[in-house]
Amino acid sequence: MYFAGIDVGSLTAEAILLDGSRVVASATRAARANPLESAREVLGEVCRARGIAPGEVRHTISTGYGREAICAEGLAEENLSEISCHGYGAWCLVPRVRTIIDIGGQDAKAIVVDADGGLDRFAMNDKCAAGTGHFLEHMGRTLEVELGELGRLAQSARRPVHMTSRCTIFVETEVLHFLQRGHCRADIAAGVADALAERVAALARRVHPSRELAMTGGVAKNVAVRREVERRLGLPLVDLRFDPQLVGAYGAARLAAQRGGNP
Amino acid sequence: MDYINDINQTFENKHVRAFREAGGKVVGFTCVFTPVELLDAAGVMPYRIKALGHPETDLADGRLSRFNCRFCRSCLQLGLDGTYDFLDGILESNGCDQLRGMYENWEYASAPGFFHYLKAPHQLHPDALDHYALELARLRTALEQHFGVTITDDRLRDSMVRHRRIRAKLVALDRLREQERPAMTGSEALQVVLAGGAVPASVYEELLDRLAADLAHRHVDRPRVRLLLGGAATDEPALFEAIEDVGATVVADTFCFGARSYGPLLCETKGAGDLLRTLAEIYLGGSRCPRMFDEFDGRLAFVTEAVAEARADGVILVNNKFCDLHGFDNVLLRMRLEEQGVPVLALEKEYGSPADHGRMRTRVQAFLERIGGGR
Amino acid sequence: MTVDVHAGILDRGLKLFGLIDKLVGVPSDEEIEGLFSLLPPDSRENLTALLAPELREAGLVFLNAIKQWMFDARDARALGKKIVLVPFNFPPDLVHAFDNAVPLTTEVLTTIAALALPGGAGRYWDFMQSLGLPDHICSANSVEIASLLSGKDFLPDAIISAAPGACDANSKVHEFLSQYQSIPQFLLEVPVDDTPEGKVVYGKYFRTLIRQLEELTGERLNEDRLRGVVERSNRCTELYWELFEYRKMRPCPLPNLFNLFLAPVRFCLWGTEAGIRTLEMMLETGERRRAAGLYTAEQEQCRVLWVYTSYYFDVQQLHRWMGKKGWSFLADVLSLYLPQPIDPSTWDTMVDGLVTAAWEYPMNRQMGTASMSRAWVSDMVWAARELGADCAIHCGHDACKQSWSVVSILEEELMKQAQVPLLVLHGDSWMKTTTPITVIQQELEEFIGNVVLGAKRSRRMVRRQRPAAKAADPVT
Amino acid sequence: MISAGIDVGATFTKLVLLGEDRLLASQVVRTTGRVTEELPGLLEALCGEAGVDRSVLAYVGATGTGGTQVVGADFYEDELTCVGAAVGYFAPDAELALQLGGQSIAAVRVNGEGEVISFSRNDKCAAGTGRFLEMMSQRLHQPLAQLDALAAQATAPQDVSSQCVVFAESEAISHINSGVPVPDIVAGICASIGRIVASQGRRARDARRFTVTGGVACFESVVRVVRQRLALDFVPFPENPQLAAALGAALLEGDDGGQA
């Protein structure tokens, strides 16, 4: 029996197809301006991959920015907040996980789940983009480095630079000045990763993170950021052994299975 | 409900126009601790200044800064762009530092006819109550001199009785809100209070009677989640709608554009014959605003009692960005309420920004999912 | 777990200031460098600046006075005395007049953290944030309050909250502490009422506060002891006004950093021997520099008045940097107070004197009145004229809702009444991360270079024939 | 006399060659980390384009946030000085110049001699700056250069209430989700920028005539709103307003006397 989760965020769109509780297909794409297009694409992609018609999916849950539009369009039976979905998804992957830091395109969230993966408490950045994927995206562009490369690059840093500011706009100018003054990209990338981790850690502290800490969302792929977050919180990050970008969609799919009457 | 909502469609509504065409004078004020009885007794209509989430602030931003709360900036905007030109005067009050700033810029940029600064103490010490009574005496004189009237004790007493009646009627409406199937939504309740600040007391009393009759047998759907909303100055029906739209009903609130403006003001007083001293006790003793710096316990009790009365499943404490008073109080309230097992969502938002409502939905929806409404 | 606040500001401050004991006499540059060599760059730079050559003697006396102030507080406990947390807008003389109580000033401890402690104020700020408090609260007090909330610092026996009426943020953070740690708070409200009745009720509040302190300490406010303190306060007042004369001189013989000394002298040391010694040494320094015609640069290019707070996290790169550029830091609102002598004849005359002192404290004078803008404007216009300021700067401490809400009025009136241009910056006075000092320097250069010195300097537009005015074609 | 001006801004770098009474050539490139290495070549190319030899340049003036890094410049002068000079020369009637840069808005009071009397800057926030437009163009997948044309097609401009770039972005997205046509969103964004710029302009209270300079001044749909909101006479900047600071740098004296 098939279940699906669709997560359409501000930067990327993902879908996961489950057979029972087993992942049988997944898709990731850059988000289009219109979330419905993104949703149709990723949903179609996973169904094609499995060779089934969208109609054969028993229950679908949408999440992320586009969740309500997608639901209204009938592409999903119901929609849930990405906060619940990321929390539940991470918990399904590693049931001992209690604190999840999800860094999306414009929102960063710190989520605490209970022993059953239910939402206990959470915090969300209400003011500043400094701790989000958005920040990294812009720094990557300024540094002319592929987003995926940023983390590895930062790891080769010898003398990491220190960003004096927290504000995205400022840091961006600082990055330019460091470049113009001839600092190497690796050292600057490390500085950027630390600046981001600093904000992320500040957010995480609001939910009083526990030892079983995991990171989801695209930024979680950045090894340098992971390391800095661990250092600043003094907590090791649990490895979910799963594409962190897909955790939201996975959580939505597992909730679809749970709520859509998976025997 | 329409006869209520219509009033809030415009700032200068038909009742205000009628009152002014009959030669009546209208004076604007903001804070709950303003003794509207004195204005009524002077034959002056008190009009509660509001911004209804007005999104534009470009005129105000030429004076106030982006570090000032946007409620104040929106109010100043309406003061500067002529929306409030129908006011014959303004009653400044020291509700908070930023309101003071708002009024000072308003006065500086375009001094209106009658301008008086009513200064309320931030504590209940007997000396403070005496000082507020003195301030009320000054207001009385200022009104009498500017509008050439005499505020007799009899007229003042009558108007105190009337406003006590009005407040009792509003409390009665709250009971209807708290039913298994509430008689009205939270956004409707907000409309009722907003209307109260925009019409003459006599008109309002009739409206409330009519409303009580209409609501007697009216029911909205049984809420999936019963919420109490509280926090910073909130006169945005759109905010209530955004929250209730996610799948909850606001069955109670503790806003100053809400329950704070009537229930607690029915408190008992020792006034001992002196009307102004009595008013001082009512308005300071009955204040549930975090501007009172030694009365947190009273504010906590106000919320916990409301939660119990309305059998709320959870509490959302709203803060307008840059509001210090609620910024601190919301955190303390959250801690204490959670100790009592009441789920709380602290929601910092930008006033008058529908964009923010979108972002808020995520947090509200997650909160509802957490307390079982969404799942 | 929340933010790991390893230790409180007081304890860390005590350790750090303990270093000064190692200095004998007036140390050489090398000795100072050696003493601080093990500290991280930020605190090393700042501490070295406080002992810079142009003010070394005064700096030593000042640092020792602050050190002693902290040690007294620590020892007070052991001696069974009460620690009273006071805000900066309150005369500590009153608490000094109690045998069984010592005052600790919230904002001064914050400044010590921001200026001297490794890591600055950031960690304490993060702790505040981790409680869910908004990021627009005032670092001036919340940094030290965080240290107290963390449980890693001393806990006061009582809190004097003197800002009600003058500052919401300050009043709320002290109420928060009182609730969170169940510490009694004594309100001294400023009744934003300039009439005689306003002053009278303030006097009543003040006497209520005295009774509360008497209950706390189990001690009557003793007239003779009070007189001793008041006489020392009066001596401080004399010295302050003598020093004020030096501020008016061109070039200003007082090093810019003296402004940083003056605030704690008023907020912690007023009415103490240490306060007197510090002021005397500052005066001595000023006179010596005047006599020798010394100035921190080739010539004094610009005289700057900070209309509210300034920045207190990098004195090397602000105060001293300005000095080297020939920009005199005449005063900020914290160093610009107007003390008056107190009549010591009776208990009541002395208490009334303290009431007036409190009434006139920085912030109370400006923001605690019936019109924040009117009071602030008249003070700044007066100061600009008295001190001969060429320009004024609003540092734009982002948490300060009052100054931000009327600064546009100040800007207009300063220009109208004193022909002094105002630069409005944005930053945080105690948090270096909000606006980096390098950015602040650029903006000061831009402003002073263009608006103040622009007329004086030689680079001009090259004379070319102006182009025939083009048709106002739509801008593309 | 021929001089050059280089303005290394936060987002774009501008180069100009200025003749006795006219602009000879100009070049605008995106500011990258390598821009300082590229500049000599760019300047050569510009000289080539104008058919003059690099050696005949009387001097090269540099300005802008990255201007201090320019090698081979005869002097550095800050942005406001340069804007003042350019306005004093090209639009001498203007008493107020609104310099709308990549990450800042400055309201500059100038006298006819191109001297800066006073100024105010926006607090450190991307609201109303070029960066705002840039981020929006990325989020809407519309090239920056197209925004003006798009805004012109708007039928019912959709208000963007949020002043913070981050929130404005999600606001734009939610507009898209609710099916608002892109032109209406773009027009709304331009309007909100125009309002922010106007509030900044209001802080210069005694000015009667104003002009707009800087990259954002190229967006007619922003400038229109500023003109509507600001009750002052508008003096158009006759050259490409994005070049103003660079032109100013080319207009100032070369000898580095009495630098402030």
- Both D223 and D134 in one domain: the answer is yes
Asked if A108 and A175 sit in the same domain, the reply is: yes
pLDDT on residue C55: 96
Contact assignment for B123 to C189 by CB distance below 8 Å: yes
Note whether D172 and D227 are same-domain residues: yes
Q: How far is D176 from chain A (nearest CA, A)?
A: 6
Q: How many domains does chain A have?
A: 2
CA separation for the pair C133, C146 (Å, rounded): 11
**Cα of A165 to nearest chain C Cα, Å:** 5
Residue-level pLDDT at C177: 98
Q: Does D123 contact B55 at a Cβ distance shorter than 8 Å?
A: no
Distances (CA, A) of B370 to B367, C416, D60, D115: 5, 58, 64, 61
Q: For C409, which of B105, B131, B294 is closest by C-beta distance?
A: B105
pLDDT for D158: 87
> Across the interface, do A164 and C432 touch by the CB < 8 Å criterion?
yes
Q: Which pLDDT score is estimated for C2?
A: 42
Cβ separation A180–D66 shorter than 8 A: yes
Kindly report the nearest CA distance between residue B221 and chain D, in angstroms. 26
Find the residue in D nearest to A172 (Cα).
D10
pLDDT at C476 > cutoff 80 = no
Q: Sort out which chain C residues have CB atoms less than 8 A from A208's CB and list them.
A: 1-2, 130
CB–CB of D162 and B61 under 8 A?
no
In this structure, of B72-86, C21-35, C260-274, D173-187, the range with the lowest mean pLDDT score is D173-187
The answer to whether the Cβ–Cβ distance between D119 and C447 falls below 8 Å is yes
pLDDT in tens, chain D (260 residues): 899 999 999 889 999 999 988 899 999 999 888 888 899 999 999 999 999 999 999 999 999 988 888 888 999 998 999 999 999 999 999 999 999 988 889 999 998 888 898 898 876 666 788 888 888 888 788 999 899 999 999 999 888 776 666 667 777 777 877 788 999 999 998 998 999 899 999 988 889 999 999 999 999 999 999 999 998 999 999 999 999 999 999 999 866 543 43
Q: Would you say C131 and C124 are in contact if contact means Cβ atoms under 8 Å apart?
A: no
Helices marked H in C150-195: 168-180
C9-219 CATH pick, 3.40.190.10, 3.40.50.11890, 3.40.1260.10, 3.40.50.150: 3.40.50.11890
What integer pLDDT is reported at residue D257 of this predicted model? 44
What's the pLDDT score for residue C4? 59
pLDDT confidence of residue C230: 98
Judged by CB atoms closer than 8 Å, whether chains meet at D236 and C412 is answered as no
pLDDT at B303: 98
Q: Who's near A256: CB < 8 A, 6+ residues apart?
A: A3, A4, A5, A18, A58, A59, A60, A61, A77
Q: Which residues of C touch B94 (CB under 8 A)?
A: 165, 192
Euclidean distance between CA atoms C156 and C74, whole angstroms:
11
Of A101-110, A140-149, D84-93, highest mean pLDDT: D84-93
Q: Check: CB of residue A100 under 8 Å from CB of residue A87.
A: yes
D85 and D36 both lie in a single domain: yes
Q: State the pLDDT confidence band at C467, using cuts at 50, 70 and 90.
A: low
List all chains that touch chain C, counting a touch as 3 or more CB pairs closer than 8 Å: A, B, D
**CB nearest D163 (choices: B59, B62, B66):** B66
Q: Verify that D18 and D52 share a domain, yes or no.
A: yes
B181-203: per-residue pLDDT in tens?
A: 999 999 999 999 999 999 999 99
Minimum distance, in Å, between the CA of residue D177 and any CA atom of chain C: 31
pLDDT at C1: 38
- Which ranges of chain B have pLDDT less than 70? 271-272, 355-356, 373-375
pLDDT value of residue C463: 66
The half-sphere exposure of B41 on its side-chain side, counting CA atoms within 13 A, is 26
Q: Nearest Cβ partner of A180 from D35, D139, D173?
A: D35
| Of the partner residues D159, D171, D203, the one whose CB lies closest to the CB of residue B62 | D203
List pLDDT tens digits, range C348-367. Answer: 999 999 999 999 999 999 99
Residues of A in contact with B362 (CB under 8 A): 81-83, 107, 124
Q: What pLDDT digit, counting tens, does each position of A209-259 carry?
A: 988 999 999 899 999 999 999 998 989 999 999 999 999 999 999 999 999
Residues D219 and D133: beta-carbon distance below 8 Å: yes
Which single residue is written with the structure tokens 């904002």?
C107
Q: Are residues A233 and A128 in the same domain?
A: yes
Same domain for D188 and D100, yes or no, is yes
Across the interface, do D33 and A65 touch by the CB < 8 Å criterion? Answer: no
Q: How far is C145 from chain A (nearest CA, A)?
A: 18
State yes or no: pLDDT of A262 exceeds 60: no
Phi-psi region of D210 (alpha: psi -120 to 50; beta: other; left: phi over 0): beta
Q: Please tell me the predicted confidence (pLDDT) of residue C474.
A: 41
- Regarding whether A13 and A24 lie in a shared domain, the answer is yes
> Does residue A100 share a domain with residue A34?
no
The answer to whether D158 touches B346, Cβ cutoff 8 Å, is no
d(Cα B348, Cα B330) in Å, to the nearest integer?
Answer: 10
Q: Is the pLDDT of residue C475 over 50?
A: no
Query: Closest to C135 (Cβ–Cβ): which among A123, A127, A170?
Result: A127
Contact at CB, D167 and B58, closer than 8 angstroms? no
pLDDT at C284 over 80: yes
CA proximity to A196, closest of A235, A222, A157, A159: A222
Q: CB–CB of C93/C270 below 8 Å?
A: yes
Range of the domain at D176: 93-236
CB-CB under 8 Å, A84 with B369: yes
Flag whether residue A126 sits within 8 Å of chain B, measured between CB atoms.
Answer: yes
- Comparing CB atoms, the residue among A170, A205, A208 nearest residue C129 is A205
Q: Which residues contact C286 (CB under 8 A, 6 or more apart)?
A: C243, C246, C253, C254, C258
Same structural domain for residues A5 and A74? Answer: yes
Cross-chain CB nearest to A165 (options C1, C135, C436): C436
According to the model, what pLDDT value does residue D6 have?
97
Handedness of CA C18, C22, C23, C28 (dihedral sign): negative
pLDDT for the residue C435: 84
Q: Are A199 and A225 in the same domain?
A: yes
What per-residue confidence (pLDDT) applies to C376? 98
For residues B1 and C148, the model is more confident at C148
Q: Which domain holds residue A41?
A: 1-94+246-263
Q: Do B350 and D123 touch (CB under 8 A)?
A: no
C412 chain-D contacts, CB cut-off 8 A: 205
Q: Which residues of D touch C421 (CB under 8 A)?
A: 117-118
A127 and chain B in contact, CB less than 8 A: yes
Q: Find the mean pLDDT for residues A41-56.
A: 96
The pLDDT of residue C117 is 93
Contact A235, A165 (CB under 8 A): no
Count the domains in chain D.
Answer: 2
The confidence score (pLDDT) of residue B59 equals: 92
Confidence (pLDDT) at B113? 86
Which residues make beta-bridge pairs with B318?
A: B231, B347
Contact with chain D for residue B356, Cβ under 8 A:
yes
Helices (H), C26-154: 29-36, 41-50, 56-78, 93-96, 106-116, 122-130, 139-149
pLDDT value at residue C469: 54
Which chain A residues contact residue D125 at CB under 8 A? 167, 169
Q: Are residues A133 and A169 in the same domain?
A: yes
Q: Which pLDDT score, from 0 to 100, does residue C58 have? A: 97
Domains and CATH numbers, chain B: 2-149 (3.40.50.11890)
Q: What distance in Å separates the CA atoms of residue C107 and residue C264, rounded to the nearest whole number?
A: 9
Residue-wise pLDDT tens digits, C394-435 = 999 989 999 999 999 999 999 999 999 999 998 999 998 888
| Alpha carbon of B218: minimum distance to chain A alpha carbons (Å) | 29
Which residue, among B52, B57, B66, B236, would best test binding to D if mutated, counting the most D CBs under 10 Å from its CB?
Answer: B66
* Residue D215 shares a structural domain with residue D106: yes
Round the average pLDDT of chain C to a whole number and report it.
93
- Within an 8 Å CB–CB cutoff, is residue A165 touching chain C? yes
* Beta carbons of B374 and A84 less than 8 Å apart: yes
What CATH number did the domain enclosing A182 receive? 3.30.420.40
Lowest mean per-residue pLDDT among A52-66, A234-248, C118-132: C118-132
**Tell me, what's the ipTM?**
0.90
Q: Does A48 touch chain C (CB under 8 A)?
A: no
Query: Do A37 and A163 fall into the same domain?
Result: no
Query: Chain C: nearest CA to B111, how far in angstroms?
Result: 14
Measure B351 CA to nearest chain D CA, in Å: 10
Average pLDDT over residues A72-79: 95
Residues D121 and D10 in one domain: no
User: Residue C424 and residue D120: Cβ atoms within 8 Å?
Assistant: yes
The pLDDT of residue D259 is 41
| Chain D positions in Cβ-Cβ contact with residue C443 (cut-off 8 Å) | 121
Q: In the block, which residue shows the tokens 């990557």?
A: A140
C442 contacts on D by Cβ (under 8 Å): 78
Angle, CA A56 vertex, CA A55 and CA A62 arms, to 5° = 70
From chain A, pick out residues whose CB is under 8 angstroms from the CB of D66: 176-177, 180
- pTM of the full structure: 0.92
Assess A77–B contact: CB distance below 8 Å, yes or no.
Answer: no
CATH number at residue D115: 3.30.420.40
Residues D116 and D183 in one domain: yes
Q: How distant is the Cα of B89 from the closest Cα of chain D, in angstroms?
A: 26
